[in-house]
A and B are shown apart, each in its own frame.
Chain A
Amino acid sequence: MMDAATAVRELSYAQAIQEAMALAMEADERVFLMGEDIGVYGGAFQVTGDLVERFGTDRVMDTPISELGGAGVAVGAAVTGLRPIFEFQFSDFAALAMEQIVNQAAKMRYMLGGAVSVPVVMRFPAGSGTGAAAQHSQSLEAWLGHVPGLKVIQPATPHDAKGMLLAAIEDPDPVMIFEHKLLYKMKGAVPEGRYTVPIGKAEVRRQGRDLTIVATSIMVHKSLEAAQMLAAEGIDVEVIDLRTVRPMDRETVIASVCKTSRLMCVYEAVKTLGIGAEVSAMVAESEAFDFLDAPIVRLGGAETPIPYNPDLEKATVPQVGDIVAAARALVTGAR
């Protein structure tokens, strides 16, 4: 999907997102950014950084602290011909704007019989691990994944963050991007220039024979680390980076489970009624069911708000050791 042969550098995840936004704004006058403290402050996580110096305050617009109204303004601008990218300071604040996201952005095209489209992008810094406690640490992607009309993505690498954001900006429908805050500083290879990574396609990050792990966002990296440790024990794990929550890539997941005969879902969000349930059901309903050699395992977040104490916080979400132990038990049958 690359325009031309381009150089590849190391960029952080946050830099990759910033580069995608800058490229989109350079290429298309309709693209602009809205959000709280994204201008001279540079965004709570410095994702917009110095973009306001390059593009000015009209295109890097600080909004008042008005998530509902701000999201609605972005929806209205999108419906009438602009391409807004709306940054939530924390994904938790989506709760303040659910009306505009769920009742308006997601449904407007359908309710109007296709008369409009809503090309808005909303960015959500998500996840725990920053000591910010219960109202600044959630993983709410399954909430939005439940709503027809939205597309919901969770890029796990700098490369995908840039390519999927560029795909989101050119998508005619509302795209919600959940960015794990602990990934912002992670570095990775990112090609220069414009390229897109398709929405709705999972990526096999590691080939394996014994077990399929379907992971999202930061759990992709934890699962890869676990897989390496398990390899030393002779357990060969396949790791799939789901990348898109809606629409979910059935083919990649099902083909993998048909090959490995075992499935474990690893995600940071609260375990029940979440992405793990959906992936498990998707496999159970498919031809892969007949290939299963063991019950499906879900490894998700605890049934609790995210606590403040660092040890409690760590214990709330799956860690590498948890993944290793659960995978070993699943493959060896020692449960």
Chain B
Amino acid sequence: MAARQKQARQPAEGRNLPFLYARFDADALRGALRKMHLIRQFEEGAEDSYMRGLIHGTMHLSIGQEASAVGICLGLSDEDQITSTHRGHGHSIAKGADVSRMFAEFFGKTTGYCRGRGGSMHIADVSKGNLGANGIVGGGIPIAVGAALTAKKLGTGKVVVCFFGDGANNEGAFHEALNMASIWKLPVVFVCENNGYGMSTSVARATAVANIADRAAAYAMPGVIVDGNSVGEVAEAADAAIARARRGEGPTLIECKTYRYRGHSKSDRNRYRTKEEIEEWMNERDPIRRFEAELVEFGIVDRAGIDAIRDSVRAEIAEAIAFAKESPAPEIANLERYVYTEPA
């Protein structure tokens, strides 16, 4: 399936509104913009804390990819579930995680989502349906299918969204899991965030097909390509896929074409792509600026409103970092806790 044609812009009160503006009210749309800012500023804050030596290890930033996380999760309830990736901060926030507990986890504190055991690569918030980021490329894909099997067997009506990157589409787990999801018609939506590179290796060099979504044909499911930097396009594709899943018709593979501004991880010297390429994405296709311009155009928010959103996010991030810094560290004596379930 080719990329959807963008519909002509209409005034907010007119008919034939683009999907996003017909489906969601102004509060929801402003909320989506706020989440995008929250993701962006969270990651900038994490990066800054890393530079200052407050966070150790490494992290994988999704700056530039906010539209896919937010656009997909707009159509999910708290009961719906996701599996995420090593580049998963955005998914976590889009699914409703509290940035204070995320920062606390990055700082290795007991108040963190994983009580300091997981860090950036294992952020999870099961209460909001986030079954966890994953340090193994493709590791979460069969797990998402298992969660969808549970939803089908128990008849919960839940849908599971499985996020992964372009690199994962060459893992065996991807192929095995998509096949099983299809033969069993499970309520799962596979969302490939194709940011052009698996670490340093471009999709063109690593993948035999031109589009990841082309793989869907092999597993008899719809494959949809969207502009991953357009909240509207992402949300529209997600809506159709989620509805199909809820109807019991099985999975969909959505490919969000996007770009990460930062390197793969903190060790990246950016030797495999040009400055011009990065700047073109940042200057011409930034998902947040594009969404802001759309919202202004549709009269959902004005510039002052955008400034207010950005300021409130800034305050939330500052508070979250302070909370993380002040939180207690885990006790060494509890090192082995959570390896096994303790007897009740």
Jot down 30 A-B pairs with beta carbons below 8 A, ordered by A.
A66-B176, A68-B173, A69-B145, A69-B172, A72-B145, A72-B176, A72-B177, A73-B143, A73-B145, A74-B146, A75-B146, A76-B142, A76-B147, A79-B143, A82-B153, A99-B173, A100-B143, A100-B173, A109-B338, A111-B117, A111-B118, A112-B114, A112-B118, A112-B124, A112-B338, A113-B114, A115-B113, A116-B126, A117-B341, A148-B339
Query: Are A82 and B150 touching (Cβ within 8 A)?
Result: yes
User: Known contacts A68-B172, A69-B173, A73-B145: does B150 contact A111 (CB below 8 Å)?
Assistant: no
For chain A, residues 92 to 125, give those with C-beta under 8 angstroms from any C-beta of chain B.
99-100, 103-104, 108-117
Question: Is B154 engaged at the interface, CB distance under 8 Å to the other chain?
Answer: yes
Cβ contact within 8 Å between B132 and A111: yes
Is B116 at the interface (CB under 8 A from chain A)? yes
Q: Is A81 an interface residue (CB 8 A)?
A: yes
Assuming the contacts A72-B143, A73-B142, A76-B144, asked whether A111 and B114 have C-beta atoms less than 8 A apart, the reply is: yes
On whether A113 and B340 interact (CB within 8 A), knowing A69-B179, A73-B145, A75-B143, the answer reads no
- Tell me if B122 is interfacial: C-beta within 8 Å of chain A: yes
Contact of B338 among A64, A74, A110 (CB under 8 A): A110
Contacts of A77 in B (CB 8 A): 146-147, 149-150, 153
Q: Which of B66-74, B133-141, B224-232, B235-243 contacts the other chain?
A: B133-141
Is the pair B337, A82 in contact by a Cβ cutoff of 8 Å?
no
A66 with B139: CB separation less than 8 A? no
Q: Nearest 5 A-B pairs (CB), nearest first?
A: A76-B146, A72-B142, A69-B176, A113-B115, A76-B143
A116, B113: Cα distance in complex, Å: 12
> B172: which A residues are within 8 A, CB to CB?
68-69
Closest to B83 in A: A76
> In the complex the two chains form, is A113's CB within 8 Å of B116's CB?
yes
Query: How many angstroms between the C-alpha atoms of A297 and B118 in the bound complex?
Result: 41
Q: How many residues of B contact A (CB 8 A)?
A: 44
Q: Are A66 and B179 in contact (CB under 8 A)?
A: yes
CA distance A73 to B175 in the complex (A): 13
**How many chain-A residues does the 8 Å CB contact rule pick out?**
40
Closest to B136 in A: A103
Residue B62 at the A interface, CB < 8 A? no
Nearest opposing residue in chain B for A115, CB measure: B126
Given contacts A69-B177, A75-B143, A112-B338, 20 further A-B contacts (CB under 8 A): A64-B183, A66-B180, A69-B145, A76-B150, A79-B131, A79-B143, A80-B147, A82-B150, A82-B154, A99-B136, A103-B135, A104-B136, A110-B338, A110-B339, A111-B114, A111-B118, A112-B124, A112-B132, A115-B124, A172-B341
Tell whether A71 is near chain B: CB-to-CB under 8 Å.
Answer: yes
Q: Which residues of B contact A64 (CB under 8 A)?
A: 176, 179-180, 183
Task: Check if B145 sits within 8 Å of A80, measured CB to CB.
Answer: no
- List A contacts of B173 (CB < 8 A): 68-69, 72, 99-100
A63 adjacent to chain B (CB < 8 Å) = yes
Shortest A55–chain B CB gap in Å is: 13
For chain B, residues 103 to 121, give those with C-beta under 8 angstroms from any C-beta of chain A: 112-118
A113 to B122, CA, bound (A): 10
- Residues 54-89 of A, flagged 1 when their CB comes within 8 A of B and 0 if not, give 000010000110101111111111111110100000
- In the complex, chain B residues whose CB is within 8 Å of the CB of A151: 340
| A149 surroundings in chain B (CB, below 8 A) | 339-340
Cα distance A76–B177 in the bound complex, in angstroms: 11
Taking CB atoms, residues of chain A closer than 8 Å to B92 are none
- B residues 315-344 in Cβ contact with A at 8 Å: 337-341
Check if A13 is an interface residue, CB within 8 A of chain B: no
Cα-based distance from A78 to B145 in the complex (angstroms): 11
Query: Do A82 and B117 have beta carbons less than 8 Å apart?
Result: no
**B177 partner, pick from A73, A112, A113, A173, beta carbons under 8 A:** A73
B81 within 8 A of A: yes
* Interface status of A90 (Cβ within 8 A of chain B): no
Asked if A178 is at the interface (CB within 8 A of a chain B CB), the reply is no
Residues from chain A with Cβ under 8 Å of B142 in the complex: 68-73, 75-76, 100
Interface flag for A32 (CB, 8 Å):
yes
Residues of A contacting B115 in the complex (Cβ-Cβ under 8 angstroms): 113-114
The verdict on A81 contacting B150 (CB below 8 Å), with A70-B176, A113-B116, A114-B337 known, is: yes
Which residues of B have CB within 8 Å of A71? 142
**Given A76-B142, A99-B139: A110 touches B149 (CB 8 Å cut-off):** no
How many angstroms from the CA of A108 to the CA of B147 in the assembled complex? 14
In Å, the complex CA distance between A123 and B245 comes to 31
Report yes or no: A173 in contact with B153, Cβ–Cβ below 8 A: no
Question: B132–A80 contact, CB under 8 A?
Answer: no
Chain A 156-186 per-residue mask, 1 if CB under 8 angstroms from chain B, else 0: 0000000000000000110000000000000
Output the least CB separation between B140 and chain A (Å).
Answer: 8
Contacts of A69 in B (CB 8 A): 142, 145, 172-173, 175-177, 179-180
| B180 with A114: CB separation less than 8 A | no
- CB proximity of B37 to chain A, nearest CB, Å: 27
* Least distance between B327 CB and chain A CB atoms (Å): 13
A257–chain B nearest beta-carbon distance, Å: 26
Complex Cα–Cα for A168 and B300 (A): 56
- Looking at the assembled complex, report how far the CB atom of A171 sits from the nearest CB atom of chain B, in whole angstroms: 8
- A100 and B173 CA atoms in complex are apart in Å by 9
B112 contacts which chain A residues (CB < 8 A)? 113
By a CB distance below 8 angstroms, the chain B residues around A115 are: 113-114, 124, 126
Q: A69-B145, A72-B146 are in contact. Are A173 and B340 (CB under 8 A)?
A: yes
A86 to B146, CA, bound (A): 12
Q: Given the complex of chains A and B, what is the CA–CA distance between A79 and B179 in angstroms?
A: 21
